Structure 1
Amino acid sequence: MLGNRPARTLIYVRAHGSNRAILTFYIRRRNPRMAEQAPTIPCTQPAEALVTRMLEAAAYPHPAADLQMIETHLSWVFLAGEFAYKVRKPIKLDFVDFSTLRARQTDCEEECRLNRRLAPALYLGVVPISHDPATGAIYVDGQGTPCEYAVRMRRFAQQDVLSALAHAGRLRPEEIDALADLIADFHATAPVCGPVSDDGTPSSIRRTLEDCAAGVSALSTEPPIVAATVALLRKHADRLEEAFASRRRGRHIRECHGDLHLGNIVLIGGQPTPFDCLEFSPSLRWIDTMYDTAFLFMDLLAAGLHGLAYRLINRYLERCGDYAGLAVLPFYASMRALVRARVLLERAHQLDGTPDLAAKLRGEARRMLDLSRELLRRNDACILLMHGLSGSGKSTRAAQLAEAEGMIRVRSDVERQRTRYVAAVDRYLPRAVERTYRRLAAVCKLGASAGFPMIADATFLAERQRRRFFSLAHRLGVAVAIADCVADVDTLRMRIRNRMQGGLDASEADLHVLDAQIATQQPLNVEERAHVIPGEISNVVPYIRGREQ
């Protein structure tokens, strides 16, 4: 985006995938020229002079090598040595008013406040920019009356942005795990929307859909594909109205990041660090937590990283327990793909003078529209029961299947621990076990109803528990199968001892629990054996669904 810069840099606002580009369409729809030349309001320091002086090393109180400037529709970002400074343009539009110095200062402060939630090491604060009338000199964070304000940030290496890592094939599972945990914890503590707000209501979600659809329709050269995609989204929006309302009642509409895609996350000290949230548009930030997460899920799918996409969503769900969000995840991910298509089409429109590049972008937009429909049409619903004693390898195999097959896994070991005020030793008592299996069944019902293939990861040593899930699958009209995991007793004991010594696994089953399982287990009956999947099967979901047809 910035040409052949040195590796140590900051791409501050990326058009690729950003919700910011939706706002460009709002301007363009009213006046096509406004997207390229926003109205400038007079300020104490003329814009041209400010930009010129900010590109001089003398303006900064520190070494300012490799001085560069990035211009967006709303800001100038100055790259100066180890730091970056983001200065708002003095503009007034229908969705933002930066026409006064106070308004620009307030937005800088808001950007710092919001982004420090997830990136405190990047966002260093708001600094004044002063002007010497006698010499015309500009001083960043210096003495004198401020003529502007800037958000001061640390610069970072472009190759450490997750989009670059994904493109280079260097995005690792452990980074996805850390990111999922971070987002889940962030969402858990984010403020909840107030009762009088319109955020997250079915009507507000519909408005977002229609605004984005209008932008895609205005820019696309393939009307039938756009129409098919938008019609499918509208159909699902109608069907999900009660789900949207339920999400709001369930306190899932929160002050989120709003623009959480791979291009807005960087590794800092090896830790994924989201930055550049949507500070200037509350309506795009106060959203369903699952809509926030759906951007990353979609982005990984679009990058061809299906295994990591399902690793992310499974880890996120395990961390926060929000399996009810599966009902809206396909719609929200599809919406994110539509947003990405709109952004690509906007960029193609701006590059009409270079037909080859514009055509490539339109091809990418077509791919995103295809993904948008695919996300809504996918229905691989089935239920796979893991079966076996503790230590038999159920969870390992379930995790592998979840990534390889695009499945949602719900683990008894994790769900058992969500029970508050129950000591670990009591979590294997009959009443607690029954409660855990009911929870697994409820989650499988939610996921399968949304079209996801589900994995119930538990021992399933009691016939009545297996029967419960077979009955559930029958009521839902989905296929059911069993993955039978077997190991000799010595191996089981060794694995459990190693697991307990490591202390990192969610399972609390010790050797006493294993002994009780061995003594009370009820082997699979003949009918159940007919549903066991062969160990050598590579495409498990098609096999399960195909066998039931």
Structure 2
Amino acid sequence: MAEQAATIPSTQAAEAFVSRMLEAAAYPHPATDLQMIETHLSWVFLAGAFAYKVRKPVKLDFVDFSTLRARQIDCEEECRLNRRLAPALYVGVVPISRDPATGAIRINGQGVPDEYAVCMRRFAQQDVLCAVARDRRLRPEEVDALADLIADFHASAPVASAGSDDGTPSAIRQTLEDCAAGVIALSTEPALAQATVSQLRRQADRLEASFASRRRSRHIRECHGDLHLGNIVLIDGQPTPFDCLEFSASLRWIDTMYDTAFLFMDVLATGLDGLAYRFINRYLERCGDYGGLSVLPFYASMRALVRARVLLERARQLDGTPDLAAKPRAEARRMLDLSHKLLCRNDACIVLMHGLSGSGKSTRAAQLAEAEGMIRVRSDVERQRVRYAGPADRYLPRALERTYRRLAAICKLGADAGFPMIADATFLAEHQRRRFFSLGRRLSVAVGIADCVADVDTLRKRIRSRMHGGRDASEADLEVLDAQIATQEPLNAQERAHVIPCEISNVVPHLRGTGQCIPPAGSGKQMP
């Protein structure tokens, strides 16, 4: 392929190219409402029902688009990668030719390609999730669908090869240092920037074994890499991630939790804390990667630091117009504050849901998780990760014991990472409750009980309705309910002292204020 037309050699030539691309005659289809969106690396031309993304001929420290061939390859890679999550959105790579006599440009025309573009189906900007979230139009069911989509995508994504450097402690440290250098150099508040970076460095040191473990357990995969609200759009009501990080393999082959942490952080930054925790809880339920809780605060903090770095660079470019530079600089300060907050959160406690099947435990647990930023682990979901001969076998004593052990292990992981945890199970046996009080004592975290009660007729009605709907994770039927009623061990007087009053609206601060981490009197036994 000829390289004499590989670059646009001057600002004047670039302006001429953009001007020609904004002419309807350049397109092989009706091109009404022509617009151009410019990014650091691309021009995106909106033309009728389609959008065309053209790489700028730039050479930077992290990307080289200086030749036509490099730009073509990147276009092809973008289509390949984004079709994993948005196959209907990405039409393909199209050539752009230019008439040497007139300078007229034609997309998909005759002649030697002068440029290449990624052709996409156009979508309304108000349907991009950053606008949807900003306008408070983001719905819980859309968050659920997005969490399921990402969890399934991560489960099927290729795993990093054993010989690569992807996801190693040294690679993670390098990413941190590259970002930190820019933040410290550009920030007008170097003390805040340095303090945030220092916290991240200390945490990176502490998590080295966790990083290595994540790699061994196959969590370093070919991810999206740039999974934030601005790169997700509602197509026919379905959240559709697009514009993944195609130009840098090292920023794409990452921990699945680092990928997820970007969206978690971004929803928090938008002020929708309840939906952020709804998202992370749904994601964890879907994929079962509760081990990722150990690195989630670090990765979310890192994502906030990266966002601050981008904003500070934008502010630097606007230094000549102080009024315009003030906004990204203030936003960068907010992101540094969020980075600090994410890394330093430590209001760990454990809430045990208690009650018969159908008593409303899961409904109240879901409300608590969103209202107070808690991580919920459900026995109804976790018992289904183990294969049994039939649903009834999951309620046999041995199966129940296995489930409660897993709940305790997950609560320990989450509490160690600073998260308040909800163990959503019936907790009808005293020894099951005792295990968690013992865990709370060992971790020095408060333990409380959310007691859910309903009359038997109501319980039966709810279970019948649930079974008829077929959409709930619980498999408890009326026979299981009868067995629970016959064998339950009611809360004793000491345990009732740990019941959270229904009128308490802020459960986490209440528990931490009471310091209820001592097992009920007389229990005395250690967690096996």
Q: Same fold by TM-score, threshold 0.5 exceeded?
A: yes
Moved more, 134-143 or 263-272: 134-143
- The aligned amino acid for 1:83 is F
- 1:154 corresponds, among 97, 117, 121, to 121
CA distance in 2, matches of 1:139, 1:529: 76
Deviations 1:35-65 (A, max 9, x none): xxxx95669x964543332222111110111
- 2:320 corresponds, among 328, 338, 353, to 353
| % identity of equivalent residues | 84
CA distance in 1, matches of 2:9, 2:132: 42
Does the 8 A contact of 1:41 with 1:92 survive in 2? no
1:452 aligned residue: 419
TM-score by length of 2: 0.94
Aligned pair count?
A: 510
2:24 aligned residue: 57
- 1:389 corresponds, among 356, 361, 367, to 356
- The aligned amino acid for 2:76 is E
> 2:65 matched to 1:98?
yes
Does the 8 A contact of 1:129 with 1:150 survive in 2? yes
CA distance in 2, matches of 1:304, 1:49: 42
- 1:522 corresponds, among 489, 500, 506, to 489
Cα 1:170/1:430, change in 2 over 3 Å: same
1:107 aligned residue: 74
- The aligned amino acid for 1:110 is E
- The aligned amino acid for 2:383 is R
> 2:45 matched to 1:78?
yes
2:108 aligned residue: 141
The equivalences for 1:264-343 within 5 A come to 264-343=231-310
- The aligned amino acid for 1:429 is L
Cα 1:291/1:456, change in 2 over 3 Å: same
The equivalences for 1:402-413 within 5 A come to 402-413=369-380
Is the partner of 1:129 in helix, strand or coil? Answer: strand
2:173 aligned residue: 206
Is the partner of 1:291 in helix, strand or coil? Answer: helix
Structure 1 position 67, deviation (Å): 1.8
2:158 aligned residue: 191
Moved more, 156-165 or 319-328: 156-165
Moved over 3 A (4+): 39-43, 45-50, 91-94
- 1:500 corresponds, among 461, 464, 467, to 467
Does the 8 A contact of 2:7 with 2:67 survive in 1? no
Cα 1:41/1:129, change in 2 over 3 Å: closer
Structure 1 position 359, deviation (Å): 2.1
Cα 1:94/1:372, change in 2 over 3 Å: closer
Does the 8 A contact of 1:413 with 1:458 survive in 2? yes
CA distance in 2, matches of 1:414, 1:492: 20
- 1:364 corresponds, among 331, 335, 354, to 331
Unmatched segments (≥5 aa) in structure 1: 1-38
The equivalences for 1:118-137 within 5 A come to 118-137=85-104
2:387 aligned residue: 420
Structure 1 position 303, deviation (Å): 1.1
TM-score by length of 1: 0.90
Unmatched segments (≥5 aa) in structure 2: 1-5, 517-528
1:17 aligned residue: none
Structure 1 position 343, deviation (Å): 1.5
CA distance in 2, matches of 1:95, 1:123: 25
Deviations 1:331-374 (A, max 9, x none): 00101111111112112222223323322322221111111111
- The aligned amino acid for 2:198 is A
Structure 1 position 237, deviation (Å): 0.5
Is the partner of 1:278 in helix, strand or coil? Answer: coil
Structure 1 position 247, deviation (Å): 0.5
Is the partner of 1:427 in helix, strand or coil? Answer: helix
Does the 8 A contact of 1:415 with 1:436 survive in 2? yes
Does the 8 A contact of 2:8 with 2:14 survive in 1? no
Structure 1 position 235, deviation (Å): 0.7
Is the partner of 2:304 in helix, strand or coil? Answer: helix
